[in-house]
Structure 1
Amino acid sequence: MGFIQNIKQAAKLYKQLDWKELQAVNEKIDLAKAMKQFSKLDDKQLKMLMRMLDGPGKEKVLPEINPDFYELSDKLTPEQRALQLKVRYFMETEVAPIVNDYWLRDEFPHELIPKFGELGLAGVTYEGYGCPGLPFLMEGVLAMEMARIDSSIATFFGVQSGLTMGSIYLCGSEEQKQEWLPAMNRFEKIGAFGLTEPEVGSGAAGGLTVTCQQTADGWVLNGQKKWIGNATFADVVVVWARNLGDGEVKGFLVRKENPGFEVEKIKGKMALRIVQNGLITLKDCVVEEKDRLPNANSFKDTADVLRMTRAGVAWMAVGCARGAYENALDYTRNRKQFGKPIASFQLIQNHLVEMISNLTAMQTLVFRLSELQDNGQLKDEHASLAKVFCTLRTRDIVRGAREVMGGNGILLEHNVARFVADAEAIYSYEGTKEINTLIVGRAITGYSAFV
């Protein structure tokens, strides 16, 4: 019955042809022979033929690339959403066009510094001193937006806004806050945070080798700090040192012009190449008493700064994963193999669904984490769990993004290779997976497994 209907349809279409069209058909086609061949086709073959005659039809409209699968941005106020989009536009227009070049050259785009100052967002959550005083949720959202384009730039901002300004905000005197925070908010002064040492990373709580000793002229610092982001061009470095007098950890604002202060750039990195990490050497470095952080008198005070900023690192991991996912999805919808976009293949879709599943779980977790922080309920184990989970899943997502791109996934121009490399650094800094795991383990079992 279907065959007869198709023949009738073909006959009807044939009758609708004008004389010129009929003449053209008769010159090119033996209609008797064609009808004989048509009679041998089954319904499926006839339908395929009719589709070919109809032409390609309308171009397929693809859904918008939306990594916010559960629409968590709806939880933001209109003002917060507008700020998120403002930072997104800044990163897409000012940073994205130049980031691969600077990453490849292992250099920092200093021309961006005054543009960050115009945003006025450093010290996101602090009250006063020219700082925005926004909720912790927005600090996380902005970190995600920056890392979505480049993790190095997000790290630069985090060191300035979180670790350095946070140390001064939490532990500094009023005079120190007035001197540094407004200028750092405007990015007229750049800061760095000196905790990690060549032989001391995870063991910083009890084993700092950089020492400080009080003298008649103030304090004398000796030792080395390693992996200090922004150190090569910072105006001030927050240095944490063990007091030879009482064995406690103290904090200092070490200015770049202080005698006995030297910085050597760390070269040969495979990740976060735009971040200018330095090896700092303090050799009888003299620091005046006025530059000692008066409210930093034990490692507990250092830990307060780290707790406040660790949630931001989890958000950065989300941004890194989000950027990789967006670029991978866009690539698969444009890349064709065997005559079709590879996004239409089952195995590619499996990779993409795994990626959006992990990303959605990560985003949901960090939103709740920031809610706890805004409610004053944040504990070490909350931030540590987010750091562990998000950095692990980021590794999975960037691996999947590289995989769906095939060989092109290792090229910077496709904007995934950088995320693959940078994910390794985010996985390690501000507490390794093992250290953060032990913090969570202690909280849920009641037993400390630290050495």
Structure 2
Amino acid sequence: MSLETAVAAQERLYGVCDYYDAESLLTAGERRVLGRLRVFLDEQARPLLAEYWERGDFPDQLAQPLIDLDLMEPVELTGAPGAEQTPARGIYQGFRIFELARTDASLATFYTAQAGLFRTAIRVGASAEQQAEWMPKVIDFSLKGVFSLTEPESGSDIAGGLSTSARREKDGEGDTWILDGAKRWIGGAASADVLAVFARDEADGQVKAFLVEREAAGVALEKIHGKTALRMMQNADITLTGVRVPESMRLHNVNSFRDVAAMLRAMRSDVAWIATGIAAGAFEAALRYVKERQQFGRPLGSFQLVQEKLARMLGNVTSALSLVVRLTEQQAKGIYRDQDSALAKMQTSLLMRETVALAREVVGGNGITLETDVARFHADAEAVYSYEGTHEINALIIGRALTGESAFTR
């Protein structure tokens, strides 16, 4: 299917799942880029998803074609690299995540590991000189990285519980840092060139960040097996034993957890877009099914109780999409507040969780098979519900902003 055929087949890219036409905020050029992504996902990715999800493997043959689509900073939207280049708009970046997630959560997580997590680590944490060297390589994927913050014993309490240590010492080559510790749930680590590792400086107790080569001496990775969500995404346990990192590979603008929090504040909006995309994908899969499935001599979609559930699903998707679009508009104005991104992550995750459950209900017994796509969305939603801030943590961030009182334990 050509892009022209795909666009001609529908008046809008997102149709019924974008009931209030948030897509109208996109430019024609942005829609063309997203249309190319749609064709790739439908023709190359979708046929592989059920098989690889069940196997618990990532379809590596999709990685380079996805990179080659030039989605992060498309030249046709931003201009050729140089002084006149204009960054891709936030609303385009949000819909890029939405398009990936409405197809598959692991694909969205894979891409945003680079375009969101790692890129944000460089954008917020690196000095101007480091950004000038690294950012072009991040954008074209010639430097692939992952965000390595979570630890085996610290997730929600990472601010105070982070135990990976960094010790600075002088040697014949200048300043060197020695890292010891462990990280967990690091998605895409096995295929990364570098790991953005966060560690606590033994000298001042503050959190610092380092780009660690994946194949450096003392770095050990082990794939996490037995997952029931995001089965295609390859998550790893990482052990760091006496890993030596030069001062030049420390992110110079990360000098406390406050700097890490600035990254999280920016990245939670990406996860809210993923949650919204998953809800949309589950809704669309359920809608396709009930239009085709016959029960009691009638289309399943003709029954009142089914239609009520479809209406609730559409309401959830529309609410979530409205929320992330407005958050993205605020961030485009430079307004970044912890409570804003926390509210979006919390609420879109709740709406996603209800939507995938309703989709599973209307598809019935076939909703637990991979054939209808619903089971994949239903399972993957559980991972997204928890990562980048659990419901409870985000609720406390919002509550603190509302009351002026912190309810976090000390």
What TM-score does the superposition give when structure 2 sets the normalisation length? 0.91
The structure having more radius of gyration, on CA atoms, is 1
Corresponding residue SS for 2:284: helix
Given that residues 200 and 208 in structure 1 are in contact (C-alpha distance below 8 angstroms), is that contact kept between their aligned partners in structure 2?
Answer: yes
Corresponding residue SS for 1:405: helix
Q: Using the TM superposition, give the Cα deviation of residue 174 of structure 1 relative to its aligned residue in structure 2, in angstroms.
A: 4.3
Give the Cα separation in 1 of the matches to 2:57 and 2:325.
33
Give the Cα separation in 1 of the matches to 2:81 and 2:224.
33
Q: For residue 72 of structure 1, what is the aligned residue in structure 2?
A: 22
| Paired amino acid for 1:310 | R
Match of 2:249 among 291, 297, 304: 291
Given that residues 129 and 178 in structure 1 are in contact (C-alpha distance below 8 angstroms), is that contact kept between their aligned partners in structure 2?
Answer: no
Name the CA shift for 1:129/1:221 in 2 (closer, same or farther; >3 Å). farther
- 5 Å matches for 1:364-403? 364-403=322-361
| Paired amino acid for 1:147 | A
| Paired amino acid for 2:21 | E
Given that residues 106 and 233 in structure 2 are in contact (C-alpha distance below 8 angstroms), is that contact kept between their aligned partners in structure 1?
Answer: yes
The answer to whether the aligner puts 1:231 opposite 2:195 as a matched pair is no
Q: Where in structure 2 are there 5+ consecutive unaligned residues?
A: 1-13
Q: For residue 253 of structure 1, what is the aligned residue in structure 2?
A: 211
The answer to whether the aligner puts 1:110 opposite 2:60 as a matched pair is yes
Q: Deviations over 1:151-197 (max 9, x none)?
A: 00100111111111211122213453344332332233321110000
Given that residues 388 and 437 in structure 1 are in contact (C-alpha distance below 8 angstroms), is that contact kept between their aligned partners in structure 2?
Answer: yes
Match of 1:99 among 49, 53, 57: 49
| Paired amino acid for 1:376 | G
Corresponding residue SS for 1:120: coil
| Paired amino acid for 1:410 | I
Match of 1:420 among 367, 378, 389: 378
Q: For residue 90 of structure 2, what is the aligned residue in structure 1?
A: 136
Given that residues 212 and 249 in structure 2 are in contact (C-alpha distance below 8 angstroms), is that contact kept between their aligned partners in structure 1?
Answer: yes
Given that residues 114 and 188 in structure 1 are in contact (C-alpha distance below 8 angstroms), is that contact kept between their aligned partners in structure 2?
Answer: no
Q: Deviations over 1:269-316 (max 9, x none)?
A: 000111111100000111111111111111111111111111010010
Q: Deviations over 1:202-253 (max 9, x none)?
A: 1111221000000114000001000001112211000000000000000000
The answer to whether the aligner puts 1:202 opposite 2:156 as a matched pair is yes
Give the Cα separation in 1 of the matches to 2:241 and 2:53.
32
- 5 Å matches for 1:162-177? 162-177=116-131
| Paired amino acid for 1:111 | Q
The answer to whether the aligner puts 1:306 opposite 2:267 as a matched pair is no
Give the Cα separation in 2 of the matches to 1:203 and 1:126.
39
Count of paired positions:
388
Given that residues 351 and 404 in structure 1 are in contact (C-alpha distance below 8 angstroms), is that contact kept between their aligned partners in structure 2?
Answer: yes
Q: Deviations over 1:71-101 (max 9, x none)?
A: 1111222222222322222222221111111
Given that residues 122 and 160 in structure 1 are in contact (C-alpha distance below 8 angstroms), is that contact kept between their aligned partners in structure 2?
Answer: no
| Paired amino acid for 2:18 | D
Match of 1:266 among 220, 224, 228: 224
What TM-score does the superposition give when structure 1 sets the normalisation length? 0.83
Q: Deviations over 1:39-63 (max 9, x none)?
A: xxxxxxxxxxxxxxxxxxxxxxxxx
Give the Cα separation in 2 of the matches to 1:65 and 1:339.
29
Match of 1:152 among 93, 102, 106: 106
Q: Which has the higher contact order (CA 8 A, sep 6+)?
A: 2
Give the Cα separation in 1 of the matches to 2:189 and 2:310.
38
Q: For residue 354 of structure 1, what is the aligned residue in structure 2?
A: 312
- 5 Å matches for 1:13-32? none
Give the Cα separation in 2 of the matches to 1:126 and 1:227.
34
